[in-house]
């Protein structure tokens, strides 16, 4: 995870239709709070056509450089992506397996600051409705409650730098300085699930190869070695120089916000610019 810098202005869909529907949801709660707190009730159902509209998803994807807000995978070639609610809209769990508490943060269903772009696995299989607080007794239960009184265990990636709580030992996510929030991040988002950890391992190894390629001195190679290399790769000497230059560029940008797994690269190679 890395800090996400979102545009300040919300897509118009959220400030027009979203604002109107928020008022509808707040009216439903105000009319019968008890009914809205019954387990499995469907009183407060937000509209996916608004918070999940193409314009909203496109804005989130652009701001996050096509990466999942949690695992930093670039997944759009193989997945549709979810508009993720940092504070869950439909219901909430203090523990992953605890009973779902109703209502959720229904009044934040269309709140721009509460929306993120996530891969389906992080959102649906792992975080889902889990939103643990250090002080669960102070959880906001309805739209007139004060969110500032909550102390979430999960850091908001748009408001704090996750690197203060989370780091990497090579390709493995670990909490920093025994941080409880770091532990919660790893657990909530499945940051060490085996397929993801394997993907980060392969990515890290590939970046090391790129770094090695970036150090090659084409003009310093013996004529025989250069000829054999160029023959194997079906390229000219000019093309080889271009590949070396490109390798240097890729390495130097490996920790930029737009780079996949930038958080891992920053933790392992703190000298890289970002």
Tens of pLDDT, residues 198-226: 999 999 999 999 999 999 888 888 989 88
Global confidence as pTM: 0.90
Determine the 3-state secondary structure of 115 from DSSP: strand
Share above pLDDT 70 across residues of the chain, in percent, rounded to a whole number: 100
* Phi, psi of 227, rounded to the nearest 5 degrees: -65, -45
Instruction: List b or e across 181-193, with b for residues whose CB sees 16 or more CB atoms inside 10 angstroms.
Output: bbebbbbbbbbeb
Low-confidence ranges of the chain (pLDDT < 70): none
Instruction: Convert the pLDDT of each residue in 74-123 to its tens digit.
Output: 988 777 889 999 999 999 999 888 899 999 999 999 999 999 999 999 99
pLDDT of residue 79: 78
Domain range list for the chain: 12-149, 194-268
pLDDT of residue 178: 87
Alpha-carbon span 89 to 130, nearest angstrom: 11
Q: Report long-range pairs for 208-211 (Cβ below 8 Å, ≥24 apart).
A: 210/247, 210/250, 210/251, 210/254, 211/247, 211/251
């Amino acid at each position: 995870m890395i800090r996400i810098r979102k545009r300040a202005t919300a897509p118009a869909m959220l400030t027009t239709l979203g604002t109107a529907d928020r008022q509808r949801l707040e009216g439903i709660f105000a009319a019968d709070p008890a009914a809205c707190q019954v387990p499995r009730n469907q009183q407060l159902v937000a509209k996916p056509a608004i918070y999940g509209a193409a314009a909203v998803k496109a804005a989130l994807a652009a701001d996050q450089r096509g990466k999942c807000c949690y695992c930093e995978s670039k997944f759009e070639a193989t997945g549709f992506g979810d508009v993720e609610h940092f504070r869950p809209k439909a219901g909430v769990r203090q523990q992953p397996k605890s009973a779902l508490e109703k209502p959720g943060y229904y009044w934040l269903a269309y709140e721009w600051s509460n929306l993120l772009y996530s891969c389906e696995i992080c959102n649906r299989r792992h975080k889902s409705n889990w939103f643990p607080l250090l002080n669960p007794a102070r959880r906001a239960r309805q739209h007139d409650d004060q969110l500032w009184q909550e102390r979430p265990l999960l850091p908001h990636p748009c408001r704090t730098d996750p690197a203060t709580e989370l780091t990497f030992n090579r390709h493995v996510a670990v909490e920093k300085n025994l941080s409880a929030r770091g532990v919660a991040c790893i657990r909530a988002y499945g940051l060490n699930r085996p397929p993801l950890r394997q993907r980060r391992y392969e990515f890290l190894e590939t970046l090391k190869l790129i770094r090695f390629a970036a150090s090659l001195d084409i003009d310093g190679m013996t004529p025989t070695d250069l000829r054999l290399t160029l023959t194997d790769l079906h390229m000219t000497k000019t093309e080889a120089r271009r590949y070396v230059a490109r390798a240097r560029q890729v390495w130097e940008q490996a920790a930029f916000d737009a780079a996949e797994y930038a958080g891992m690269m920053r933790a392992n190679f703190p000298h890289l610019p970002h």
